[in-house]
Amino acid sequence: MNIVLKDLEKLHAYQLLTNTIVPRPIAWILTENVNKSFNLAPYSYFNVVCSNPGILMFSAGHKRDGTKKDTWANIERNRHCTVHIANGELADEVNKTAKPLAEGESELNLLNHALVKEPHFSLPRLTKAPVAFSAECHDIHLLGNGPQAIIYVEVNAAFVDDPLFTGKDFQLDSKKLNPLARLGGNDYALTGDILTHERP
């Protein structure tokens, strides 16, 4: 089937892209609300885009009422966030935090998660997440008809659970990390089989 995207309805274009660009890593992002509670939300339009300095990118859109998603508004106002990488054991919790809530209502109320203040972190991190990054807003670009916000955040500090390290520099054991990834629809993926090839 040959498909012209501009001829598709918005929903169908979204479904086509999110069912084929897979698996996508998930940024589980904690920000601070106006009322000082914490917002926690997953984003699968996410990746690392620069290593010097370390810059991560994720894309956030609007709520159904047309206002900016809380993560976008909070980063725009406060300029900082904590980006977590969740593992398979946290799949249910990650999915719960995708639930739309009223502005200022914390997704942490849906979970049984403790927070810890990590040295050099602007905001706390979730104790159960194996990897977390403290990041500051680097730039925000608007893209598309939404428009969507392309939010770039610069990593200032990182937490990595010690057992994940292989002992070779800063390489991690992917099986132990077992990162949660997003597929299309309601589907998620885990690491599964790993293919190893030496770079030519």
Instruction: State pLDDT tens for residues 112-136.
Output: 889 999 999 999 999 999 999 999 9
| Residue indicated by tokens 């002992």 | 167
155-178 pLDDT tens trace: 999 999 999 999 888 899 999 999
Instruction: Give dist(CA 41, CA 61) in Å, integer.
Output: 12
61-112 pLDDT tens trace: 998 888 999 999 999 999 999 999 999 999 999 999 999 988 889 999 999 8
Domains of the chain: 5-189 (2.30.110.10)
Beta-strand relationship, 27-32 and 38-43: antiparallel
| Residue indicated by tokens 């203040």 | 117
Q: How far is CA 161 from CA 105, 126, 128, in A?
A: 29, 12, 10
Question: What is the C-alpha end-to-end distance of the chain, expressed in Å?
Answer: 35
Total length of the chain: 200
Instruction: Give dist(CA 187, CA 149) in Å, integer.
Output: 24
23-38 pLDDT tens trace: 999 999 999 999 999 9
Instruction: Give dist(CA 184, CA 192) in Å, integer.
Output: 17
pLDDT value of residue 175: 94
Residues of the chain with pLDDT > 70: what percent? Answer: 100
Given pLDDT bands bounded at 50, 70 and 90, which one contains residue 137? very high
Given pLDDT bands bounded at 50, 70 and 90, which one contains residue 194? confident
